[in-house]
């Protein structure tokens, strides 16, 4: 009956947790997701296998936590000092009044992140895993993607109030018009992902969202 009672997290070793995160990220970028094994992570982290199995249900879960930890750490110091969440999440999308310029700025930054060799392998691995595993995918979307997308919703709503976007447009759909093409090209590698591409997407998309004359 006892549903495998949870271990006492207050006694958990932070040192081991971090070592496991680092080892997981390093292995994924070095040998790829398929060939990173739990045993390999444990060995590299100087940790017993059981310590991993005690705290995480799967290899993907380890990588997800490691990735979130990485994103959180790289954002520290960029925020106003409090609890930053992620690079963009901490500061939001700028609102200079020029919607096109603001979006280009953010989408260019997204392009740079996607092309960053350090982030590429873990991001691809998690995305791919989420595509096949609905449960993990939901967690990925909820913990990583949704917070980012919420920023677009905010900025697009402001644009609607400013009259740059038609009132009837659903921000959730407008946002996908921007992000979708970027992700599509990155995921499927159909063509190179460049700043110029991001700019064109913004130009076309905003054109379709603007009020009819």
Binding site for a second copy (CB under 8 A): 32-34, 124-125, 127-134, 137-138, 140-141, 145-146, 149, 169-170, 172-174, 176-177, 179-185, 187-191, 197, 200-201, 203-210, 212-213
> Which one, 132 or 167, has the nearer CB to a second copy?
132
47: partner contacted, choices DNA, a second copy, none (Cβ within 5-8 A by kind): DNA
The alpha helices in the chain, defined as continuous H runs, are 14-31, 38-45, 49-55, 59-75, 87-91, 99-115, 117-132, 134-140, 146-162, 171-188, 195-209
Site residues (vs DNA, CB under 7 A):
7-8, 11-13, 15-17, 19, 35, 37-40, 42, 45-51, 53-55, 58-59
Nearer of residues 86 and 123 to a second copy, judged by Cβ: 123
Minimum Å gap between C-beta 131 and DNA is 19
- Our CA dihedral for 175, 138, 147, 103, rounded to 10 degrees, sits at -20
Using CA atoms, how far residue 46 sits from 43, 53, 62, in Å, is 5, 15, 16
Tokens coding 8? 């006492």
């Amino acid at each position: 009956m006892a549903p495998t009672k949870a271990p006492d997290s207050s006694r958990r070793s932070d040192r081991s947790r971090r070592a496991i995160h680092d080892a997981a990220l390093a292995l994924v970028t070095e040998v790829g997701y398929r060939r990173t094994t739990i045993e390999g992570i444990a060995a590299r982290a100087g940790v017993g296998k059981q310590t991993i199995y005690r705290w995480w249900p799967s290899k993907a879960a380890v990588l997800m936590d490691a990735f979130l930890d990485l994103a959180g750490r790289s954002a520290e110091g960029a925020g106003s000092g409090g609890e930053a969440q992620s690079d963009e999440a901490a500061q939001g999308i700028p609102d200079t009044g020029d919607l096109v310029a603001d979006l280009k700025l953010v989408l260019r930054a997204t392009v740079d992140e996607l092309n960053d060799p350090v982030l590429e392998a873990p991001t691809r691995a998690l995305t791919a895993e989420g595509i096949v595993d609905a449960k993990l995918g939901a967690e990925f979307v909820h913990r990583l993607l949704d917070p980012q997308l919420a920023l677009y919703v905010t900025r697009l709503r402001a644009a609607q109030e400013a009259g740059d976007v038609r009132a009837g447009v659903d921000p959730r759909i407008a946002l996908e018009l921007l992000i979708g093409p970027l992700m599509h090209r990155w995921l499927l590698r159909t063509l190179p992902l460049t700043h110029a591409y991001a700019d064109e997407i913004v130009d076309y998309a905003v054109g379709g969202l603007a009020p009819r004359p």
